[in-house]
Chains A and B, each alone.
Chain A
Amino acid sequence: MDLFNAFIQILDSTIRLSVPLLLACLAGLYSERAGIFDIGLEGKMLVGAFAGAAAASVFHSALLGLGMAILISVAFAMIHGFASITHRGNQIVSGVAINFIAAGSTIMLGQHWFQQGGRTPALAPGERFGAITWPGADALRDVPILGPIYAELISGHSILVYIAFLMVPFTWWVLFRTRFGLRLRAVGENPAAVDTAGISVAWLRYRALICTGVLTGIAGAYLSMVQNGGFVKDMTAGKGYIALAALIFAKWKPVNAMFACLLFGFLDALSIRLQGTPLPVIGKVPVQFMQALPYVLTVILLAGFIGKAIPPRAGGVPYVKER
């Protein structure tokens, strides 16, 4: 029974840890499906996290915080768009620049505004997104097996967690069942076909980037307003890059993306859980090794275990009219 409970707890933290990955991964999916590489997911999440926590603590409102996170993150996505769509700049360079600007500006503004070494003030409960307890969760907690699953895994998360998982079927539906999705996929494969069909390539790509910005904004808000009670410098800690790896791993498909992110979240949860615990046979594993595990696995998986991942064909190439 103890083992079962431990397992449930690991799964529970798997969910919590995969949420920012999942939101960022879906964010990347919108832009890369539209043919814009976005290495700046990391930076957009970071500014989202900062703007969310800052606004929430100043205005004492979680919702305003979320709104601000989305707004600023979308603004950064538009900078990426301006550089890489309108001015046909290199998408990788623009993305990296966004990451640098995000890392620097959040610390600088944080220090300037709040004087707490780049942190934002700790958020009060009303300024964060609290856990939502589902009806009957407490009553059912003691039912064997199903009780903990319902009470721990399904109930008791913040609204952003549910939003993140609902975004999976929603994204699938948008991509494969709507006109916008058809055009978005087409522009990532062959923008000239979209152009000659009478649709604006630039506007379509900008719209995809808006979707990206909204999702990275929510991901950032989750980090600073749910997982943590405030912004801490560099709190994204490479999640934007892991999300990109998950995206490739998922072959740019929404449902696959969810499983990929859950897998990475699970590894993360496992490494936290096993820190300092001696394992049978191997003995005590150094913390650093466990922390490195998700990244090592990413490399291994990407290097050969997922078969050929074919990215959208026009990915990374600015669109210029020509034959």
Chain B
Amino acid sequence: MAQAAIELIGINKSFGAVRANRDINLEIVRGTIHGIVGENGAGKSTLMSILYGFYQADSGEIRVGGKPASIKTPNDAIALGIGMVHQHFMLVDNFTVLENVILGAESDALLTKSIAKARSELERLEREYGLEVDPDAIIEELPVGLQQRVEILKALYRGAEILILDEPTGVLTPAEADHLFRILKQLKEQGKTVVLITHKLREIMAITDTVSVMRQGTMVATRETRKTTVEELAELMVGRRVLLRVEKGEAEAGGVKLAVKNLTVKDSRGVTMVDDISFDIRAGEIVGIAGVAGNGQSELLEAISGIRRAVSGSVMLDGKPIDLTGAADPGELRDRGLAHVPEDRHHVGLVLAFEENENSILGYHDDPRYLKGPFLDIDAIRNDARDKITKYDIRPADCRLKTANFSGGNQQKIVLAREMEQDPGVLIVGQPTRGVDVGAIEFIHKRLIAMRDQGKAVLVVSVELDEIRSLSDRILVMFAGRIVGERGPEATEGELGLLMAGVEQREAAE
């Protein structure tokens, strides 16, 4: 008979007025991969943080391996063999991999001894699970995919039998995600239990054995993965039927709104990231830029939005040039009708310590609508924020809540609402639905298409091929800083995948 690794019984947790978890019951079978899905703010991260001892449940019982367990701190969880990879990594950026792995689990009071011991143990783990990382590399110099491996190694080093991963693939490239899944399968073969939280239902179907669905703090269903479908899961999550692919009509492209010519951008180390790129975006069309992360898309976005200096080339907005010296005034660009949703909402898009209503006008705070003489018109700002909260279904619907306390997907919606509601002529969006649930994806896609139909020019950069294909009227594929191909929306995934891998380019060079 299958044995339960973890049983959660009647878990409740509130944050002030927000009931993040209500009467949750969940059983996770040993040696399986158990998926948890749910809308943004459904309470997934909270539930797992309770299991890991990071938060305390208000009431309820946790059983580990059949025995009642009292998990008051992460230490208790670690002692019970529970490890967690958080949605936002918990690493010390300027420490080495090895130092991060041993932190809190040092075998000895002296570091040299602990490190020597850890090094051989780490090498064994790396070999066993295909988790290669240079133990002496500094975290901040590693790409996110590798940082995540360090998080997994941290858990395994502490002897985790049960590994919780909170949205591990949100930041990964498809290849990195595939690698991660191979690792998870291997862990399962070794008898470990994996709990996987994700918004990508495809991943759930591909790798989990069982899947549980949460909605607004409650557990609504648990299914055997092979007996369910993506459509059923989406419906369970949102409580209504969801269009996984939004319908849209033909684009009626008008005049050129944004013209990029021979743009070249280097990163801080002087490496050419955008290499002589030219393209136009017309009014009334959505242009999608596909590509594996790290091929210059981020730098391209930053240059166009005036944040990063371009080495050469020009960008014309409505026929007038944009200052590409890196000293452009973002306020001026906004006045000219260029709105920008940055890829990295945590660092660039939001001030997490501010209240939601403050973030919802950030950058537009000089707008007379929000001013009363020289002062901010607090009432106008809050009313405006409440409108956006209703329209974009941001949860919890509290414009006074500190932004850091919104779930990841809802933070994304705050930024999107701010930029889209300004009615810009040109909208540039980086990773529009990173970390966003299926219901919200449908909504955001509909909004983007509506903007297009109103005659706006939209540029979407995304590492999600599905998203690019369902949104774009034209698809540009970026590889190694260049545009290696342009395709229509009918292009197949395989065709785009090859372009993204730079295959055609190599053939042409031969």
**Chain A residue with the shortest CB-CB distance to B166:** A323
Report the minimal beta-carbon distance from A312 to chain B, rounded to whole angstroms: 9
User: CB distance B112 to A177 under 8 Å?
Assistant: yes
The reply to whether the CB of B54 lies closer than 8 angstroms to some CB of chain A is yes
User: CB distance A198 to B74 under 8 Å?
Assistant: yes
**Chain B residue with the shortest CB-CB distance to A313:** B93
* Complex Cα–Cα for A185 and B102 (A): 14
The reply to whether the CB of B100 lies closer than 8 angstroms to some CB of chain A is yes
- When distances are taken between beta carbons in the complex, the residues of chain A under 8 Å from B78 are 198
- When distances are taken between beta carbons in the complex, the residues of chain B under 8 Å from A321 are 54-55
**Chain B residue with the shortest CB-CB distance to A314:** B92
Q: From known contacts A186-B95, A199-B104, A321-B54, infer whether A193 and B111 are also in contact, taking CB-CB under 8 Å.
A: no
Q: From known contacts A186-B95, A196-B52, infer whether A178 and B90 are also in contact, taking CB-CB under 8 Å.
A: no
User: CB distance B111 to A196 under 8 Å?
Assistant: no
User: CB distance A189 to B54 under 8 Å?
Assistant: no
User: CB distance A189 to B94 under 8 Å?
Assistant: yes
- When distances are taken between beta carbons in the complex, the residues of chain A under 8 Å from B86 are 196, 323
Q: Which of A180, A186, A198, A200 has most chain B Cβ within 10 Å? A: A198
**Chain A residue with the shortest CB-CB distance to B109:** A179
* Complex Cα–Cα for A200 and B88 (A): 20
Interface magnitude class on chain B:
35 or more
- When distances are taken between beta carbons in the complex, the residues of chain B under 8 Å from A313 are 93
**Chain B residue with the shortest CB-CB distance to A176:** B111
* Complex Cα–Cα for A321 and B55 (A): 8
Q: Fill in one digit per residue for A287-323: 1 if any B CB lies within 8 Å of its CB, else 0.
A: 0000000000000000000000000010000000111
The reply to whether the CB of B1 lies closer than 8 angstroms to some CB of chain A is no
* Complex Cα–Cα for A199 and B75 (A): 7
User: CB distance A323 to B45 under 8 Å?
Assistant: yes
The reply to whether the CB of A182 lies closer than 8 angstroms to some CB of chain B is yes
The reply to whether the CB of A190 lies closer than 8 angstroms to some CB of chain B is yes
User: CB distance B92 to A322 under 8 Å?
Assistant: no
Q: Which of A181, A197, A200, A323 has most chain B Cβ within 10 Å? A: A323
User: CB distance B87 to A196 under 8 Å?
Assistant: no
Pick from A178, A185, A189, A200: contact of B110, CB under 8 Å? A178
- When distances are taken between beta carbons in the complex, the residues of chain A under 8 Å from B106 are 179, 182
User: CB distance A193 to B87 under 8 Å?
Assistant: no
Report the minimal beta-carbon distance from B411 to chain A, rounded to whole angstroms: 10
The reply to whether the CB of B108 lies closer than 8 angstroms to some CB of chain A is yes
* Complex Cα–Cα for A240 and B496 (A): 63
Q: From known contacts A177-B111, A182-B106, A198-B78, infer whether A323 and B404 are also in contact, taking CB-CB under 8 Å.
A: yes
Report the minimal beta-carbon distance from A168 to chain B, rounded to whole angstroms: 19
Q: Fill in one digit per residue for A171-206: 1 if any B CB lies within 8 Å of its CB, else 0.
A: 000001111111101100110111111111000000
Q: Which of B397-414 contact A (CB under 8 A)?
A: 404-405, 408
The reply to whether the CB of B73 lies closer than 8 angstroms to some CB of chain A is yes
- When distances are taken between beta carbons in the complex, the residues of chain B under 8 Å from A196 are 52, 54, 74, 84, 86, 90
Pick from B52, B90, B114: contact of A193, CB under 8 Å? B90
Pick from B77, B92, B93, B114: contact of A179, CB under 8 Å? B114
- When distances are taken between beta carbons in the complex, the residues of chain B under 8 Å from A198 are 73-75, 77-78, 104-105
- When distances are taken between beta carbons in the complex, the residues of chain B under 8 Å from A186 are 92, 95, 99, 103
* Complex Cα–Cα for A305 and B419 (A): 42
User: CB distance B111 to A190 under 8 Å?
Assistant: no
User: CB distance B75 to A193 under 8 Å?
Assistant: no
User: CB distance B109 to A190 under 8 Å?
Assistant: no
The reply to whether the CB of B415 lies closer than 8 angstroms to some CB of chain A is no
Pick from B103, B111, B112: contact of A197, CB under 8 Å? B103
User: CB distance A178 to B111 under 8 Å?
Assistant: yes
- When distances are taken between beta carbons in the complex, the residues of chain B under 8 Å from A189 are 92-95
Pick from B94, B104, B111: contact of A181, CB under 8 Å? B111
Q: Fill in one digit per residue for B61-99: 1 if any A CB lies within 8 Å of its CB, else 0.
A: 000000000000111011000001011101111110001
* Complex Cα–Cα for A153 and B45 (A): 62
User: CB distance B73 to A192 under 8 Å?
Assistant: no
User: CB distance A178 to B109 under 8 Å?
Assistant: yes
User: CB distance A193 to B91 under 8 Å?
Assistant: yes
Report the minimal beta-carbon distance from B164 to chain A, rounded to whole angstroms: 11
- When distances are taken between beta carbons in the complex, the residues of chain A under 8 Å from B73 are 198, 200
* Complex Cα–Cα for A196 and B52 (A): 9
* Complex Cα–Cα for A182 and B92 (A): 11
Report the minimal beta-carbon distance from B489 to chain A, rounded to whole angstroms: 36
* Complex Cα–Cα for A322 and B86 (A): 12
* Complex Cα–Cα for A196 and B86 (A): 9
Report the minimal beta-carbon distance from A254 to chain B, rounded to whole angstroms: 16
Report the minimal beta-carbon distance from B162 to chain A, rounded to whole angstroms: 15
Report the minimal beta-carbon distance from B205 to chain A, rounded to whole angstroms: 27
* Complex Cα–Cα for A197 and B88 (A): 14
Pick from A176, A177, A178, A194: contact of B103, CB under 8 Å? A194
User: CB distance B405 to A183 under 8 Å?
Assistant: no
User: CB distance A197 to B105 under 8 Å?
Assistant: yes
User: CB distance B99 to A182 under 8 Å?
Assistant: yes
* Complex Cα–Cα for A186 and B104 (A): 10
Report the minimal beta-carbon distance from B377 to chain A, rounded to whole angstroms: 29
User: CB distance A197 to B74 under 8 Å?
Assistant: yes
* Complex Cα–Cα for A198 and B102 (A): 12
Report the minimal beta-carbon distance from B154 to chain A, rounded to whole angstroms: 8
* Complex Cα–Cα for A101 and B361 (A): 43
* Complex Cα–Cα for A189 and B103 (A): 13
User: CB distance B103 to A322 under 8 Å?
Assistant: no
Q: From known contacts A178-B109, A182-B106, infer whether A190 and B91 are also in contact, taking CB-CB under 8 Å.
A: yes
Pick from A176, A179, A185: contact of B108, CB under 8 Å? A179
Q: Which of B95-140 contact A (CB under 8 A)?
A: 95, 99-100, 102-106, 108-112, 114
Report the minimal beta-carbon distance from B256 to chain A, rounded to whole angstroms: 42
**Chain A residue with the shortest CB-CB distance to B407:** A323
- When distances are taken between beta carbons in the complex, the residues of chain A under 8 Å from B90 are 190, 192-193, 195-197
User: CB distance B87 to A323 under 8 Å?
Assistant: yes
User: CB distance A322 to B104 under 8 Å?
Assistant: no
* Complex Cα–Cα for A181 and B106 (A): 12
**Chain A residue with the shortest CB-CB distance to B101:** A197
**Chain B residue with the shortest CB-CB distance to A199:** B104
Q: Which of A178, A196, A198, A199 has most chain B Cβ within 10 Å? A: A196
* Complex Cα–Cα for A195 and B103 (A): 10
Q: Fill in one digit per residue for A151-173: 1 if any B CB lies within 8 Å of its CB, else 0.
A: 00000000000000000000000
Between A and B, 12 residue pairs with Cβ closer than 8 Å are A177-B110, A182-B103, A186-B92, A186-B103, A190-B90, A194-B104, A196-B54, A196-B90, A197-B154, A198-B105, A199-B75, A323-B86
Further 18 A-B residue pairs, CB within 8 A, beyond A181-B111, A196-B86, A196-B90: A176-B111, A177-B111, A179-B106, A182-B102, A185-B95, A189-B93, A190-B91, A193-B92, A193-B100, A195-B54, A196-B54, A197-B154, A198-B74, A198-B104, A199-B103, A322-B404, A323-B404, A323-B408
Which A residues contact B (CB, under 8 angstroms)? 176-183, 185-186, 189-190, 192-200, 313, 321-323
Smallest CB-CB A-B distances: 3 pairs: A197-B104, A198-B75, A179-B106
